[in-house]
A and B are shown apart, each in its own frame.
Chain A
Amino acid sequence: MPITINVNGADHDLDATPDTPLLWAIRDHLQMTGTKFGCGMALCGACTVHMDGQPIRSCTTPVQAVAGRKITTIEGLASPVAEVVQRAWNETQVVQCGYCQSGQIMSAIALLERNPSPTDGDIDAAMSGNICRCNTYQRIRGAIKNASKQLA
């Protein structure tokens, strides 16, 4: 029986088992590849997407758990906060290899949506689940502060 998930405002019928992680439904079934696979165990944050605006790790979220929910991926970003964050990321020249950055940006947007003026501690708490092996952390922090200023 097909499962229906709503991604970036559109319903999609999936021919997948209900335990299929949302990450692989998005990447392999919907062929939206902006959301990345890094660990598969909710340890690295590369697969972060929004479910009803909350950041979740799509690699450990089965598709059956998101039925009736609204999923947003990096491809579907449209909010004013998202725009500011992506711009801040470019202005700060955050990226290196870039592989972790979709997840970083999704986590940062979720943080700033609920807390437009995060402290260093808030940033650490919201972002420490997102690994960057290129260690762009200083610029991630800088970009979040930059975005926060623009949002104030």
Chain B
Amino acid sequence: MRWINRNTRGHLQAGSPVNAQESRRNFLKVIGGAGAGLTLAINSPAVWSVSGSVSKSPGPDSGFAPNAFVRIGPDNRVSVVIKHVEMGQGTYTGLATLVAEELDADWEQIDSVGAPADAKRYNNLNWGPMQGTGGSSAIANSYQQMRFAGATARAMLVAAAVQRWEVPAGEIAVKQGIVSHPGSNRRASFGELAELAASLPVPDKKSVRLKEPAEFSCIGRSLPRKDVGKTDGTAVFTQDIQLPGMLTAVVAHPPRFGARVKRFDAKQALASNGVVDVIQVPSGIAVLAKDFWSARVARDKLEIEWDESRAMSKSSAQMMAEYRELAGKEGSVARDDGDARGVLANAESVIEATYEFPYLAHASMEPMNCVALVEKDSCEIWNGEQFQSVDQMNIGKLLGLPADRVKLNMLYAGGSFGRRANPVSDYLVEAVEIARAKTGTPVKLVWSREDDMQAGYFRPAYVHRVRGGVDAEGNIVGWEQHIVGQSILSGTVFGQSIENGIDHSSVEGASTLPYAIPNVRVELTSTEEQVPVLWWRSVGHTHTAYSTETFLDELAARAGRDPVALRMKLLADHPRWQGVLKLAADKAGWGEALPKGRGRGVAVHESFNSYVAQVAEVSVADDGSFKVERVVCAVDCGVPINPDVIRAQMEGGIGFGLAPALVSAVTLRNGQVVESNFHNYQVLRINQMPEVEVHIVPSTAPPTGVGEPGVPPIAPAVANALAAVTGKRYHTLPIET
């Protein structure tokens, strides 16, 4: 989700004041000025008693709430309010670590709780006045904010001790949840001081001191995760919500994108066991029943005639043929350094490749679902809530309610990979459409796996045409790339970030090619299809890293250069790229001999301001089948907050990125999605998971995200490793040997 980053070139500045301003302006335009004049809520004490809107009240009513993020109860529990959804990426752990660090809390006493929807207090600082999670931004935007929240609370606890013990503040120590005055041998827990602290003024932010990195005792340590309940079945996901009188809804969706209900007969469905009602909604026909299975069985008994006159009828093969043709024509220019065309016309040696990428489904383990309760003048939602401000806006608009009358309960998400952040709030709106017909009754919308896989919001399909030239000395002198595919942002509330025909989320990673190549031209042709598309874990980098990093290897081979040595040379001005590349290559034993049939390949890529290099080792059998045996990964994400979570995200990202490299593709046949479940939309399984080794570059740079950046390099690293064994190049994903 880099619509906020309008900077198309190598020097990425997301999060810098300039970009923050810009994104804020963009978003204000989008939301119609709703957020004007917002200030950070960190200095408003006792917000709990003011709003009382935290869904699961963290702790008893009395206690100490110095700001929107910290709540200390008399029971000595510290609740850290997490404004970002926990979908596996570790945000409940990372953000709590920042508070615990500056508060000098004991990690054991910390509980992470989900924030309510309230963009005034819980906006994503990288996104202006909007609350939501994405673009691997949680740690990056919260680093100072959460530390100040912890440090402010600590200062107030110290002030309380000063008052109670009548000793100078300078003589008070705070360590692992204990406030003490060593001189007089007095100590108190946070809980014991909470009430007194709550009566004291909140200190001015300027007077609150943050620790120097050398003083860190939590940051940089692999503290155990705080999203608990996931090994004993007690963690609550949307799918698990049970409310009194709740009905379960399943919806019959059109078989093709763009089809509509012409007429339907619900007689048999209504007579089916457990069914309560059948209603038409804009997205199809909803069956409401006492439980999922009753609804699911009844759905099959619906007789629906679809109007397919405006439905999509294209097939993937036809689409790819059209895209290949477009790739040979002119596109909008995303980057134009020097004279790539002129140079390629005269280069000693020119290589050309056409890449093809299919649609991809997110296929999170928890299929999409949502619980909605519509009342006369309010609405309440239970959801793995990733896009609070947008969802409130869309639901509010639908119901004619102010956005803040839409209460959102943020639950754990059983994966998302971008799917639960949708500019049109597709499945939430569907749930609300159904629930509004049943005012006062909570409705749980449940999508089956088939519904989830065929409803679209895919990673778009793309074709890239790339040309590169090498001179007589083996220097890469020109690079020309044309990307063809649907725009994710076009037609959405974020469409205004498209400039001169460039949706940056389509070209990021290519337009930002960091290599010292004097002539680079990157073009984009955005196509229009009826297939709904969406960001998919690492967005544009899912395809641009593949084409750029495999094509660079082809050029290296043509120039007779070693892939790592050539990259190091071309990255001379980019020390962080070089740093991860060198670390991964060293740890992988780059250059050391391998047994016959084995090969190594490398890729390095920056996304979301984190730098990742991966060296993949593959074995190829005589029949051409292959296995990814081992991956060595190096990551530079600034100050490492929790090394174990970083490692987990790299491991997970590698597995996630291997799936489209090896097995995943959504295909269309006459406008219909062919794949329906995990038998024909395959994803990685344990036997396909390589051994992964992760190395983290020590850094004092501001921390950046790790949810997405592990994904982009793996597919090109594998393709390059295969090429090292077979001598062939692989321009289509998934790879076929």
A interface residue numbers (CB < 8 A to B): 16-17, 20-21, 24, 27-29, 31-41, 43-44, 46, 73-75, 77, 86, 89-90, 93-102, 105, 123-124, 127-128, 130-141
Q: Knowing A44-B365, A99-B366, A136-B648 touch, does A16 contact B293 (C-beta < 8 A)?
A: yes
Taken together as a complex, chains A and B put the C-alpha atoms of A97 and B684 apart, in Å, by 16
Taken together as a complex, chains A and B put the C-alpha atoms of A77 and B232 apart, in Å, by 9
Shortest A19–chain B CB gap in Å is 8
Specify which of A93, A100, A124, A127 is in contact with B225 (CB 8 Å cutoff).
A93
B679 proximal to A (CB < 8 A):
yes
Interface SS of A by simple majority: loop
A135, B293: Cβ atoms closer than 8 Å: no
A28, B686: Cβ atoms closer than 8 Å: no
Chain A residues contacting B225 (CB-CB under 8 Å) are 93, 95
Chain B residues contacting A99 (CB-CB under 8 Å) are 237, 364-366, 414-415
Query: In chain B between 650 and 683, which residues have their CB closer than 8 angstroms to a CB of chain A?
Result: 651-656, 658, 677-679, 683
Number of B residues with CB within 8 Å of any CB on chain A: 62
Residue of A nearest to B237 (CB): A99
Known: A33-B233, A44-B449. 4 other contacts (CB 8 A): A32-B233, A43-B677, A74-B233, A135-B654
Chain A residues contacting B653 (CB-CB under 8 Å) are 135
B448 proximal to A (CB < 8 A):
yes
Chain B residues contacting A134 (CB-CB under 8 Å) are 88, 365, 415, 652, 655-656
B230 proximal to A (CB < 8 A):
yes
B227, A95: Cβ atoms closer than 8 Å: yes
B686, A140: Cβ atoms closer than 8 Å: yes
* Interface 9-mer from B171-179, B344-352, B687-695: B687-695
Chain A residues contacting B415 (CB-CB under 8 Å) are 96-97, 99, 133-134
Specify which of B365, B366, B655 is in contact with A137 (CB 8 Å cutoff).
B655
Please give me the 10 A-B residue pairs with the lowest Cβ-Cβ distance, nearest first: A34-B233, A135-B655, A99-B414, A98-B230, A96-B88, A97-B88, A74-B233, A33-B240, A28-B291, A137-B689
Chain A residues contacting B366 (CB-CB under 8 Å) are 36, 38, 97, 99
Residue of A nearest to B229 (CB): A98
Shortest A89–chain B CB gap in Å is 5
Taken together as a complex, chains A and B put the C-alpha atoms of A31 and B366 apart, in Å, by 18
Residue of B nearest to A144 (CB): B686
Taken together as a complex, chains A and B put the C-alpha atoms of A90 and B223 apart, in Å, by 12
A97, B293: Cβ atoms closer than 8 Å: no
Chain A residues contacting B49 (CB-CB under 8 Å) are none
Q: Knowing A95-B230, A97-B88, A135-B689 touch, does A24 contact B678 (C-beta < 8 A)?
A: no
A86, B224: Cβ atoms closer than 8 Å: no
Residue of B nearest to A99 (CB): B414
Residue of B nearest to A28 (CB): B291
B656, A133: Cβ atoms closer than 8 Å: yes
B123 proximal to A (CB < 8 A):
no
Query: In chain B between 237 and 258, which residues have their CB closer than 8 angstroms to a CB of chain A?
Result: 237, 239-240, 242, 248
Chain B residues contacting A138 (CB-CB under 8 Å) are 651, 689, 691-692
Shortest A34–chain B CB gap in Å is 2
Chain B residues contacting A128 (CB-CB under 8 Å) are 685-687
B87 proximal to A (CB < 8 A):
yes
B648, A130: Cβ atoms closer than 8 Å: no
Shortest B607–chain A CB gap in Å is 18
Chain A residues contacting B229 (CB-CB under 8 Å) are 98
Taken together as a complex, chains A and B put the C-alpha atoms of A34 and B236 apart, in Å, by 8
A39, B412: Cβ atoms closer than 8 Å: no
Shortest B298–chain A CB gap in Å is 11
Chain A residues contacting B448 (CB-CB under 8 Å) are 40
Chain A residues contacting B443 (CB-CB under 8 Å) are none
Chain A residues contacting B293 (CB-CB under 8 Å) are 16-17, 20-21, 24, 28
Shortest B143–chain A CB gap in Å is 22
Chain B residues contacting A123 (CB-CB under 8 Å) are 686
A74, B412: Cβ atoms closer than 8 Å: no
B273, A17: Cβ atoms closer than 8 Å: yes
Taken together as a complex, chains A and B put the C-alpha atoms of A95 and B412 apart, in Å, by 13
B234 proximal to A (CB < 8 A):
yes
